[in-house]
Amino acid sequence: MASLVPASGLALDGGDPRADPKDVVAFSHTEKPVSTKNVSLEEYLHYASITRAEEKIANEKYRAAKGPVTWKSIIRGRFSRNPGGNDPQSSTAGQGYAVNGALEAEWKNASRAVRTAGWGSAFYLIATDVLGPSQTPWSFSQLGYGPGFVLYTVFGLLSGYSGLILWRLFIQLDSDRYPMRNYADVFHRIFGTGMKHFVNIAQAIQLIAVLGFLILLNGQGISQMAQGPEGSYAGICFVACLIIFTVAGFVIGQVRTLQKYSWLANFAVFINLLVVFIVMGVAAKYGPNYNAVVATFGPQWEAGPPIVTFAGTPPDGFATGGTGFVATVNGVNQALLCYGGAALFVFFLAEMRHPMDFWKSILCAQLLIYVIYIVFGMVVYHYHGQYTYAPAVQGVSDYRWQTALNVMNLVMGLISCGLFGNIGVKIVYIEVFEKLLHFPPMHTLKGRIWWAILSPAYWVLGFILAAAIPQFPLVSGLIGAIFGVGFTYILPALAALGFRVRRDAMLEEETARFDPATGTVHHRDAGIRRVMRGFMKRPVFNVAHLIYFLGSLVICGLGCYAAIIQLMGAFSSGVATSFTCASPV
């Protein structure tokens, strides 16, 4: 979520399973030939245990054939034509349990065929997905060194734990017979169809917010480049800058073959790291961009005090995100946003040859991301102090470096928007319009007509959001409070609690009577009595997750409150104006 862009499909070894069937054959695998409408939790657990056992055997054969994983093999594998290689796991298809006819046997072979990624590939995907350091220095300027360090450490640990929760749930609920393909599948199997629809709709709203965020970010970059050094040129009307990027992103997003993006998109994480090092170097040599701070946060910053930094929370007048509590929470929002991205972990797991290794991917990726955030945030804050700006590249005062960094961001933004236009809108169409609202399948003639109508409408909604709220730090904070907290902390905690209660409520006599052939299971009781039995089997574990869930809800509420209060203040003071030619940078 930190990158705010769906990263799966950027570098997946087996292609993106959500793409159009004419783009990538694997898309058909999201449509399960075996209905999951009335499948019990016992049945999901039964087939998952069989699949994990088969994967273990297949992975041992694969490792013997390929040799140990090294950093050299990981990097080299990113750019090979067949990173997955010949997967011996496919030879195990059809073993382990009896399948009902040729269709199901064919499905199992197809399911195994798309699981080609190793843990090294998953590490790369997590880093691409989560790593988004552009707001980190501004967050430190609202929090101070000490609180910033503590919060980034705590949220890093908690986000990693949430990733491990999703990993464990995937391991216990995914199988070749009932494969998990998206985030909503987790909640469908634990809480039912209603919860699945809620998560899908929430992700659809998130995708609109992400699109608006990208349009605003890159529109600001175009506006900044058009103004010249120290605003020496007349520039371009800010709304026109947003329109330029919206049209460019929409056009690129119409390229239907995702494979054309993968090679370019593999460089996204390396460009991101390059930007980080350049910004730190430029920040050490040149002063902050006072013009951008004044344009975004008001004229009171025009003749402010000299650059200062604080070990603790900055006092009033030294934080651009507000005063007191509001400024602190807005800084917290950015930290939450930076670690968002767990909603895509299921997509990564669905492509892995041996999902049991995913913990290695999380550990390595989270450690890398954490170190970058801490170093980058503190270094830029040290040199820019209370004038630190978000995004960091637009807080650089030297016009030459500022332009070069904005160009890099535009390249990454266009790649991201191309991917977003190709995948993001399809997720919305398939998961919301097709499955929930019963629109025609996208590969039919009527489906393609609806796609042609809805795709530009989606981009228009993103443009309206960007033009209506031209306050990047506060918009990103609001998105972090709602979606970063929701998908990375609230929902994983709820899923862990719900799954453990349901599983621990099972009695030995019930599981012994489960019939895999018919899928029937006989529960001795139901309702609150069953829930309490499951909860009290592991009370410490369940109370901890309940606290995690409730605490995340509180953080979400406080984050929304602080961002909205500051946005209201920006609009009432005249600093922020919707659909205006005046640039916010």
- The residue written with tokens 């967050």 in the block is 139
**Do 141 and 319 contact (CB within 8 A), yes or no?**
yes
Calculate mean pLDDT across residues 327-355.
Answer: 85
Tokens 């393909």, located at residue: 181
Bridge partner residues of 426 (DSSP): none
pLDDT of residue 391: 87
| Contact criterion met (CB below 8 Å) for 493 and 161 | no
> Are the C-beta atoms of residues 18 and 182 closer than 8 Å to each other?
yes
59-94 residue pLDDT tens? 788 777 776 666 666 555 555 544 444 444 443 433
Nearest to 13 by CA among 62, 76, 59, 77: 77
Residue 90's pLDDT is: 41
Picking from 274-283, 379-388, 522-531, which range would have the lowest pLDDT averaged per residue? 522-531
| Overall average pLDDT of the 110-139 stretch | 77
Minimum mean pLDDT range among 39-53, 365-379, 468-482: 468-482
Taking CB atoms within 8 Å and a gap of at least 24, the contacts of 263-269 are 263/79, 264/415, 265/9, 265/10, 265/11, 265/128, 265/415, 265/419, 266/10, 266/11, 266/78, 266/79, 268/7, 268/10, 268/128, 268/412, 268/415, 268/416, 269/124, 269/127, 269/128, 269/131
Q: Which of 65, 25, 114, 11 is nearest to 352 (CA)?
A: 114
Q: What pLDDT does residue 504 have?
A: 92
Lowest mean pLDDT among 102-116, 337-351, 509-523: 102-116
pLDDT at 33: 46
Report pLDDT for 583.
76
Average pLDDT over residues 197-224: 85
* Angle at CA of residue 34, ends 30 and 37, nearest 5°: 90
The answer, yes or no, to whether residue 262 has pLDDT greater than 90, is no
Q: With the C-alpha atoms ordered 502, 506, 510, 516, is the resulting torsion angle positive or negative?
A: positive
User: pLDDT value at position 471?
Assistant: 74
Q: Is the pLDDT of residue 137 over 70?
A: yes
Give residue 18's pLDDT.
Answer: 35
Instruction: Return the pLDDT at 109.
Output: 59
Main-chain phi, psi angles of 352, to 5 degrees? -85, 140
pLDDT recorded at residue 331: 84
% of the chain residues with pLDDT over 90: 26
